[in-house]
Structure 1
Amino acid sequence: MELKDKKVLITGGSAGIGKALIKELLTHGVKDFAVIGRSQDKLNALKDEFKDADFILVSADISRLEAIERLVKEVSKTWDHIDLLINNAGVVSADPLQDMTDEDLVNQININLTGLILLTKKALPLLLKSEDAGLMNMSSGLGYIAKPFYSVYAATKAGVRHFSEAMRRELIFENIHVMTIYPTATDTDMMTSARVDRMDSPELVAQKSIEGLLNKEINVILGGEQRIKDIATNFNHPLEIDKSVRENYEAYKERTKEHRAM
């Protein structure tokens, strides 16, 4: 895929991995970005930080259908097509299921999965007008290997994985390359309240994601060879992962007990 002069729509693009993706795409000649985020101040700051880019900025909650429709309407006023849709927005609330608030449970599903699917549906007519389009969905390592206290988050990210797979096959005769990104713990605002020592940088995730896009990869899995091995173990011998969790259960509980970014 040639990225120069592509038109990119990205959710959650005002911070973290989303902002790093904008920075990385600029190095490949992308100038036109449509960005949706919940903080107008953070969105406005993008103009100051990336002066060579042209932005369509929409402050809205991706979990709300009316916000998605407003976003696509705003984009359609300026662009006649989209070349790349990056579904990056996400939230997390780590808790034992019985302790999680109903609001956090519903919002994780609505933002991480329902909003992603709805935006893809609403943006699809514009993507189909591109001669060479891409659909990039941000999942998580927990979308492959679910861990305790992340039951709802892991379910949404596994849903993203299967949605991508289904859409890749549904669009197999179209001009849209569908891919999924699986970051490990990444040093962003979303991880501030998690007790994790070693994390990837958002810049690394962005670099690997765009490399994967250019190489037409369908899955970009962060975490190195060990993560690949763990995924295979989880698929073929899931009780081995259960054993590891049992042995480290208290550490999981301690590490996740304050992890919330909603």
Structure 2
Amino acid sequence: MELANKKVFITGGSAGIGKALLAEFIRHGVRDFAVMGRKQAALDALKQEFPEARLLLIAGDVGQPADLDRAVATIAEEWGGLDVLVNNAGVVSAGLLADQSDDDIISQININLTGLILLTKKALPLLLQSTDGALINISSGYGYLAMPFYSVYAATKAAIRQFSDAMRREHYQHPLRVMTVYPSATDTDMMKTAVVKGMDSAEEVARASVEGLLAGQINVIMGGAEREAQIKTNFLEPRKIDAVAASNYEALRERTARHRSM
């Protein structure tokens, strides 16, 4: 896949993994970006940080269908097409299910999953016009390995995995690559309230993602051979992962006690 001259739309692109992906795409020759985020000031700052990029800055909330309609309409009007959609925006609220507010549960589902699906639906007519298009969905390691205190978040990220598989199979006759990325704990603002050591950097996730896209991968799983083995065990012998979760229960409770980024 040749990335130069591609038009790329990134949600949640003003910080964290989204901004690192913007930088990585630039390194591979991309210059035209649409970036959607909730904070106008953070979007505006991208102009100074990436002067070589031609930016369509779209302030909006992925959880609001009207904002998605406006974003796609803006891209259609300005570009007339789209080559790569990166569904990256996400939020998290950890804790026992009984302790999570209804609003946090609904928002996680709306932003992490419903908005991702709706934006994909709305952008598909543009993507399918591309002769070499791509849909990249950012999931999470919890999309494969659900752990205590992340029930809602893990559910949304696991659903992304199934959605990606369905999209790849639904559009097999089109030149549209569908790839899912499964970051492990990543050192971004989203993780500031979690107690985690040894996190990946956003740049590492972005580099692996773009390399995976260029290599034609359908899944990019961070965490190396150990994570691959855990996923296999969870599929074949889930009670073994149950035992791991139980033995780490109190540590996980402490780690997630204040983890909220909404």
Q: TM (normalized to structure 2)? A: 1.00
Amino acid in the other structure paired with 2:91 = V
Name the SS of the counterpart of 1:33 in structure 2. Answer: strand
1:53 equivalent to 2:53? Answer: yes
Q: What secondary structure is seen at the aligned counterpart in 2 of 1:217?
A: coil
**Whole-angstrom distance in 2 between the partners of 1:136 and 1:63:** 18
**Which residue in the other structure is 2:73 paired with?**
73
Q: Which residue of 1 aligns with 2:197?
A: 197
Amino acid at match of 1:136: I
Which residue in the other structure is 2:146 paired with? 146
SS of 2:149 mapped into structure 1? coil
Counterparts of 1:38 and 1:248, CA distance in 2: 35
Kindly provide the CA deviation profile for residues 160-210 of structure 1, in whole angstroms up to 9, marking residues without a partner as x: 000000000001111100000000000000000000011000000000000
Q: Distance in 1 between matches of 2:190 and 2:143?
A: 16
Aligned position for 2:109: 109
Residue matched to 1:7? 7
Structure 1 stretches lacking a partner, 5+ long: none
Structure 2 residue matching 1:241: 3-state secondary structure: helix
Aligned equivalent of 1:170:
170
Q: Where do 4+ consecutive residues of structure 1 move more than 2 Å? A: none
- Give the Å deviation of 1:246: 1.1
Indicate the SS of the match to 1:197. coil
Please, what TM-score do these two structures have when normalized by structure 1?
A: 1.00
Find the aligned partners of 1:241 and 1:62 in 2 and give their Cα distance.
33
d(CA) in 1 for partners of 2:124, 2:247:
45
Shift of residue 95, structure 1, vs aligned partner: 1.0
C-alpha distance in 2, partners of 1:257/1:139?
22
Root mean square deviation, CA, Å: 0.4
In 2: Cα distance, 1:248 partner to 1:66 partner: 42
Letter matched to residue 111 of structure 2? I
Aligned residue in 2 for 1:225: 225
**Corresponding residue for residue 245 of structure 2:** 245
Name stretches of at least 5 consecutive residues in structure 2 with no aligned partner: none
Q: Distance in 2 between matches of 1:171 and 1:62?
A: 23
CA apart distance, 1:17 = 0.3
1:157 partner SS? helix
How big is the shift at 1:245?
1.1
Q: Alpha-carbon deviations, 1:94-135, whole Å to 9, x = none?
A: 010000000000000000000000000000000011110000
Shift of 1:154: 0.1
Q: Secondary structure at the match of 1:196?
A: coil
How many residue pairs match? The answer is 262
Q: Per-residue deviation at 1:49?
A: 0.2
Instruction: Name the aligned partner's letter for residue 168 of structure 1.
Output: R
What is the CA–CA distance in structure 1 between the aligned matches of 2:8 and 2:96, rounded to whole Å? 37
Query: Matches of 1:86 and 1:166 in 2, distance apart?
Result: 17
1:132 pairs with 2:135:
no
Shift of the alpha carbon at 1:80? 1.3
CA shift, 1:248, in A, is 1.1
Distance in 2, Cα, partners of 1:67 & 1:229: 40
CA distance in 2, matches of 1:136, 1:209: 9
Q: Name the counterpart of 1:121.
A: 121
